[in-house]
């Protein structure tokens, strides 16, 4: 967390804000959970599973919205659409089709 949501003091990865004393542990935990979900989304993209990646990235955005996660979700959604539009069978040359 870069800034305290209460007083906007710069964060130092502490359990509480140095200026106002607000407890930041639960907010930090939510942010870390979103980071883990984003990492899982990236891993699913790397293994060719854009549907699961989209699910993880959507959940991450529900916890903490970042530009990186938004772009990754857009990428995963596009891959998923492209994957759905590819035909299951591809006609091979020499399958009785004469030129």
At 53-85, the pLDDT tens digits run: 999 999 999 999 999 999 999 999 999 998 776
Residue ranges making up the domain that contains 53: 33-84
* Number of domains within the chain: 1
Predicted pLDDT at 89: 56
**pTM tops 0.85:** no
What is the residue whose two structure tokens read 């935990």? 29
User: Is pLDDT above 50 for 99?
Assistant: no
| pLDDT number for residue 93 | 59
Q: Is residue 12 part of a domain?
A: no
Distances (CA, A) of 68 to 16, 30, 56, 86, 95: 26, 17, 14, 27, 46
Look up tokens 């607000």; give the residue.
22
Residue 91 domain-assigned (yes or no): no
pLDDT of 12 strictly over 80: no
């Amino acid at each position: 967390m870069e800034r305290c949501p209460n007083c906007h003091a710069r964060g130092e990865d502490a359990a509480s804000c140095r200026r106002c004393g607000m407890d930041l542990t639960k907010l930090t935990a939510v942010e870390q959970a979103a980071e883990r979900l984003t990492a899982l989304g990236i891993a699913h993209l790397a293994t060719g599973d854009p549907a699961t990646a989209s699910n993880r990235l959507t959940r991450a955005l529900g916890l903490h919205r970042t530009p990186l996660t938004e772009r990754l979700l857009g990428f995963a959604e596009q891959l998923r659409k492209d994957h759905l539009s590819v035909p299951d069978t591809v006609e091979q040359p020499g399958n009785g089709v004469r030129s």
